[in-house]
Chains A and B, each alone.
Chain A
Amino acid sequence: MASVEISRVTKAFGATQVIHGVDVAIEDGEFVVLVGPSGCGKSTLLRMVAGLEQITGGEISIGGRVVNDLPPKERDIAMVFQNYALYPHMTVRDNMAFSMKLRGASSAEIDKRVGDAADILGLKPYLDRFPRQLSGGQRQRVAMGRAIVRDPQVFLFDEPLSNLDAKLRVQMRTEIKALHQRLKTTSIYVTHDQVEAMTMADRIVVMHDGIVEQAGAPLDLYDRPANQFVAGFIGSPAMNFIPGRIDRGGAVAVVADGGLRLPLAADAGGEHGQKVIYGVRPEHLGLGPGFEAVVQVVEPTGADTFVFCDAAGVRICANVEERQGFAPGGRIALAPRLDMVHLFDAESGRALPRRN
């Protein structure tokens, strides 16, 4: 087990730079999730840690040792690929034993380690099968088994669950987390699914276009997003954004473009007249005195009712507890939880801190 230090790392493929100076410090035993939209450079960053891509600039160290020029096999890391990359011509047993065989381990030791890993993952009955005789979830487990057997300093996962169906994904999510709690190996996990990130991570690193937008504990990111991108990315359904200007004449509010007044807490930041984005999550909008909106679509899911409505020309979503009484075209009053309202500067997208 080891810490991983990524400092000022850049990466360019030819003339195109895809990573623009990333800093992430991962503590020993931590489970860090890199999350971000497709193409933001998550895989590239992970592959640089693994040694599968050259590091263009900056430094990566594992366990205090700079690994920039270290070949992958000397970095003592194990990686689980999105397509699993199981060796199709080897049985499950041989897939898991491959690295130890290469290292020249004794067959007794190999048997023990493979047996232990198979026990942990419930793979005992399948040890003599070939990968194509396994289901997707079982293959996924073999890929993890191959990593566990190595007993590496760091586990790297590149979207390991994205080839599984929704139900299995939820199940494997829990299994991976339980596994981490048991083995306590430092792990870096890449996904574009923010739910996966929220549920699994000790700490989330949100990436966007080759930079880190924000890093922090899942609920920190949820409660205190540093900018509009993170606010919109974390949380499902996504946060509502309504553009407007701050009005400090009388009760503090944001006046949306159509003249709609969106209420703010008294300690809300920002200057009078400043152009801002008013952000509030669907789950923080309830029925009550606040502002008016026109109902467009109602989606009851049983536990929640999502009401999509038009407020000042913007489509917003409210997650309300009431089940009935919404007719498309009808007007409802929505009350935001003022302590959960976020303000972002319209230009920079940065969150405006509260006054105190």
Chain B
Amino acid sequence: MTVAAHGYAPAASDRWRRLALAFSDSRNLLGLVFMLPAAALLIVFLAYPLGLGLWLGFTDANLGSTGRFTGIANYLSLAGDPVYWLSVSNTILYTVIASAAKFFLGLWLALLLNQNVPFKAFVRAIVLLPWIVPTVLSAIAFWWIYDTQFSVITWALKGLGLIDGSIDFLGNGTNARISVIVANVWRGIPFVAISLLAGLQTIPGSLYEAATLDGASSYQRFRYITLPMLTPIIAVVMTFSVLFTFTDFQLIYVLTRGGPVNTTHLMATLAFQRAIPGGRLGEGAALASSMIPFLVAAVMFSYYGLQRRKWQQGTRD
């Protein structure tokens, strides 16, 4: 950057060479250049929509007009809207139960897969299946499974003589809630199980041998070796799992569209319904924006509460 300070005019090619040199010498500048494409992508596809969404939340925009700034009117009306609060409590219930189930089942599956099961690779591939299949596809599969007339579950239970009538999986509130949670758990387990399995495999076998010689039972080995060594990975995996679950949209949209009578509406599906089919963009945007504090809270909890352990950081005192 000192090219101009020399007091004489160097030949054009010379100047360019110096510029190029100074440029490649400056790590920061170079770093910035390499970052630009990614930053551009982030800005165009993430920051811009997010900003637009936040802005729309403060307007009365609808499908026909760009709308005027209305302050927090949308938020005030949501605060007095029982359907909104129902969707909030649905979302929390859905997230808590589904995440807990995914955690315990995923951990159990990971522990199982970590042992010497026959056809290990094959079993692991099977476990990954629900994760590979596009959500909408698996949602449609579940839609069939939950169909009032053609449900395989009803069929099987009838065949076994356990029930007489059909089960109305998606017809009443409680059943519908259970059904969508089961579908979500089914879909989310592979991610948890495979990530935790990867974590389990980083624990050296000699630790278990040492613990065995120290007199630990298999439960004690799990409690005092596996669990603490796995905590950092559990924290990361569960943060992601909670975020995915909290913002879930596709499963619900395909299976119930929030029904019956809003009992399975999540914040994401309700926001979509208000904004697009309902045409009230401003209100939908405000509803969607109101998810942000929950998500931030979840991330903070995991980041500060669980993720980093002193024994990992290796700081010397």
The verdict on B213 contacting chain A, using a C-beta distance below 8 Å, is yes
Question: With contacts A89-B228, A98-B224, A130-B311 known, is A52 near B204, CB below 8 A?
Answer: no
Whole-angstrom CA separation of A150 from B215 in the bound complex: 10
Report if A78 contacts B (CB, 8 A): yes
- Interface size of B by Cβ–Cβ distance < 8 Å? 24
Please state if B220 and A87 are interface contacts (CB–CB under 8 Å). no
Q: Are B224 and A81 in contact (CB under 8 A)?
A: no
Contact among A50, A131, A132 for B213, CB-based, below 8 A: A50
Do residues A102 and B311 form an inter-chain contact, with CB atoms below 8 A? no
**Chain A residues with CB below 8 A from B310, complex form:** 130
Do the beta carbons of A102 and B220 come within 8 Å of each other? yes
| Cα distance A52–B212 in the bound complex, in angstroms | 9
B185–chain A nearest beta-carbon distance, Å = 30
Q: Please, how many angstroms separate the alpha-carbon atoms of A91 and B225 in the complex?
A: 13
Among B209, B211, B214, B311, point to the contact of A89 (Cβ < 8 A): B311
Q: Mark B299-317, 1 if CB is under 8 A from A, else 0.
A: 0000000000111101111
Q: Tell me the number of A-to-B contacts counted with CB atoms below 8 Å.
A: 65
Separation of A225 and B311 alpha carbons in the complex (Å): 50
Interchain CB contact under 8 A, B206 and A99: no
Q: Is A240 an interface residue (CB 8 A)?
A: no
A73-B211 Cα distance, complex, nearest whole Å = 9
CA A98 to CA B216, docked complex, whole Å: 9
Chain B positions 149 through 173: 1 when the CB is less than 8 Å from some CB of chain A, otherwise 0:
0000000000000000000000000
B204 to chain A, nearest CB (A): 7
Q: A98-B224, A102-B220, A133-B316 are in contact. Are A87 and B215 (CB under 8 A)?
A: no
> Interface residues of A, CB < 8 Å — how many?
26
Q: Is A85 an interface residue (CB 8 A)?
A: yes
Given A132-B311, A133-B316, do A73 and B209 touch, yes or no (CB 8 Å)?
no
**Closest residue of chain A to B309, judged by CB?**
A89
**Contact flags B209-239 to A (C-beta < 8 A → 1, else 0):** 1111111100010001100110000000000
Q: Please, which residues of chain A bring their CB within 8 A of the CB of B215?
A: 73, 99, 102-103
Chain B: CB-nearest residue to A52: B209
Any A CB within 8 A of the CB of B207: yes
**Contact between B309 and A85, CB atoms less than 8 A apart:** no
| Chain A residue at smallest Cβ distance from B214 | A99
Q: Which residue of A is nearest B209, CB measured?
A: A52
- Whether the Cβ atoms of B212 and A85 lie closer than 8 Å is no
Task: Tell me which residues across on chain A come within 8 A of B216, comparing CB atoms.
Answer: 73, 98, 102
B247-286, CB under 8 A of A: which get 1 and which 0?
0000000000000000000000000000000000000000
Q: Cβ of B311 and Cβ of A77 under 8 Å apart?
A: no
Complex CA distance for A341 and B310, rounded to whole angstroms: 61
The answer to the question of A115 belonging to the interface, with a C-beta cut-off of 8 Å to chain B, is no
* Most chain B Cβ neighbours within 10 Å, of A83, A88, A90: A88
Quick check: A85 and B210 within 8 Å, CB to CB?
yes
A85 touches B311 (CB 8 A): no
Point out the residue from A51, A83, A85, A132 that lies within 8 Å of B314, measured CB to CB. Answer: A132
Q: What is the 8 Å Cβ interface bit string for chain A, positions 101-126, against chain B (1 contact, 0 not)?
A: 01100000000000000000000000
**How near does chain B come to A174, taking the closest CB pair, in angstroms?**
25
Query: Which residues of A, 39-86, contact B by the 8 Å Cβ criterion?
Result: 50-52, 72-73, 77-79, 81, 83, 85
28 A-B residue pairs with CB within 8 Å: A51-B213, A52-B209, A52-B213, A72-B212, A73-B212, A79-B209, A79-B210, A81-B209, A85-B204, A85-B206, A85-B207, A85-B209, A87-B210, A87-B211, A87-B224, A87-B225, A88-B229, A88-B311, A89-B228, A89-B311, A90-B311, A98-B214, A98-B216, A102-B216, A130-B311, A133-B315, A133-B316, A146-B214
Inter-chain pairs besides A99-B214, A146-B210, A150-B214, 7 sampled, C-beta below 8 Å: A50-B213, A52-B212, A52-B213, A79-B210, A88-B311, A89-B311, A98-B224
Interface pairs A-B: 7 shortest CB-CB: A99-B214, A85-B206, A73-B215, A85-B210, A130-B311, A89-B228, A132-B314
List residues of B whose CB falls within 8 A of some A CB.
204, 206-207, 209-216, 220, 224-225, 228-229, 309-312, 314-317
